Amino acid sequence: MQKVSIVGASGYVGGELLRLLLFHPKVKINQVISREHIGKPIGLIHPNLKGKTKMVFSSLSELETCDLLFVALPNGKSMKLMDKFIHVGRKVIDCGADFRLKDGKLWQQWYKTPHTKTNLLNKFVYGLPEINRNKIKKATLIAGPGCEAIVSILCLWPLIKQSVIKPAAIIIDAKMGSSQAGSKSNQSSHHPERSGCIRSYLPTGHRHTAEIEQLLNLYGNRPKVLLSATAVEMVRGVLVTIHVFLKELLSEKTIWKIYREAFNQEPFIRIIKQSQGLYRFPEPKILQGTNYCDIGFEKDFHSNRLVVIGAIDNLVKGTAGNAIQCMNLMSGYPETLGLEFPGLHPI
């Protein structure tokens, strides 16, 4: 039985970690840490967990040693505390952005603040099991990817690996649910402002661009990612529509084979491409609460453009579920343990 704790347990990601870990057969949750809710019961902040645990939130000063520490803090916060976290947790999984990029200058370029722990950047393994599985198994420090980055990388990786698309202009249109902004409210999340909106909030300059390019550059293609983000009226979910251009006029059968060979053994990747029915392509709605990433595609019949469509639940495969998938690998557990929920329909 592994003893784990969660720092930042009162946020949406912390709540998802709790929801999943409370029922994980190989985990004992030792502490849940919150700055604002010290002494309060978990069910008060995460009402779906009422009656499932008697634990209360502890302060950071009370943090005890554990086998594995999950960190779910806002961007820029964990680097200031990572020396303490590494001392407390035998293994650490950081769900935030602080250790995703390997270059401190690149961090400052995209996040507009200096990185204060550049000496640790290369010690963290980028936590995407489908690509870094062997490294994750041996790692003690994991940097969890961003939600847009996870789904975009998984959609693009097989095509980049096989060098069948032009890397110079990869266009990603990401549609985002409101929970990806976190549990802190602001003017843009105020109900009269958010309800009914389709708001283009980052037409350019999305921070996850950097980590997508960083990982896809593994094969020397030097991809140029052009990412736009739009807020839509859903709570959970990310849908990416990616436009790429084939180097040659490949058939859909060939493209299907590329994806099948890349992901045939992956427990949480599903290739969704049907000729009929409502769910012919990936749809975030039916992925709520699941650790799946669904990927589909369609070739433009009058050009060499390929449209790739990917969907995830941003709080599960996009963050907490993916982190637990990493924990399972690091601990020698079955990779799917505690993550088997198939989703609901209708919902």
pLDDT tens digit string along 290-336?
A: 999 999 999 998 999 999 999 999 999 999 999 999 999 999 999 99
Structure tokens at 189: 């999340």
Q: CATH number of the domain that 161 lies in?
A: 3.30.360.10
% of the chain beyond a pLDDT of 70: 96
Q: Classify residue 10: in a domain, yes or no.
A: yes
User: In the chain, how many domains are there?
Assistant: 2
In angstroms, the CA 235 to CA 238 distance is 10
* Confidence band for 186, pLDDT divided at 50, 70 and 90: low
Distance, in Å, from the CA atom of 66 to the CA atom of 323, rounded to the nearest integer, reads 16
Q: Are residues 103 and 232 in the same domain?
A: no
Q: Which of 90, 123, 156 is the last residue of a domain?
A: 123
On whether both 38 and 167 belong to a single domain, the answer is: no
Q: What is the CATH number of the domain that holds 6?
A: 3.40.50.720
| Tens digits of residue pLDDT in 190-214 | 667 777 788 888 899 999 999 999 9
Both 195 and 267 in one domain: the answer is yes
On whether both 69 and 167 belong to a single domain, the answer is no
> Does residue 346 form part of some domain?
no
Any domain includes 338: no
Residues labelled as active-site residues:
147
Q: Which DSSP letter does residue 11 get?
A: S
Residue pLDDT, tens place only, 167-180: 998 999 999 876 66
Of residues 222 and 55, more confidence is placed in 55
**Count of other CB atoms within 10 angstroms of residue 21:** 22
Q: Is the pLDDT of residue 183 over 60?
A: no
Does residue 155 sit in the same domain as residue 298? yes
Least confident range from 103-107, 139-143, 173-177: namely 173-177
B/e letters for 172-202, b = 16+ CB within 10 Å, e = fewer, are bbbbbbbbbbeeeeeeeeeeeebeeeeeeeb
Q: Which domain holds residue 231?
A: 148-312
Same domain as 152, residue 119: no
pTM of the full predicted structure? Answer: 0.96
Place of tokens 């390929």: 306
Q: Sheet holding 27-33: strands in order across?
A: 27-33, 2-7, 66-71, 89-94, 141-143, 125-126
Which pLDDT belongs to residue 110? 96
- Would 192 be classed as within a structural domain? yes
Quick check: is 238 in a domain? Answer: yes
Interhelix angle for 208-216 vs 147-161, to 10°? 30
| Helix (H) / strand (E) containing 325 | helix 321-331
Same structural domain, 306 and 169: yes
For the chain, the average pLDDT equals 94
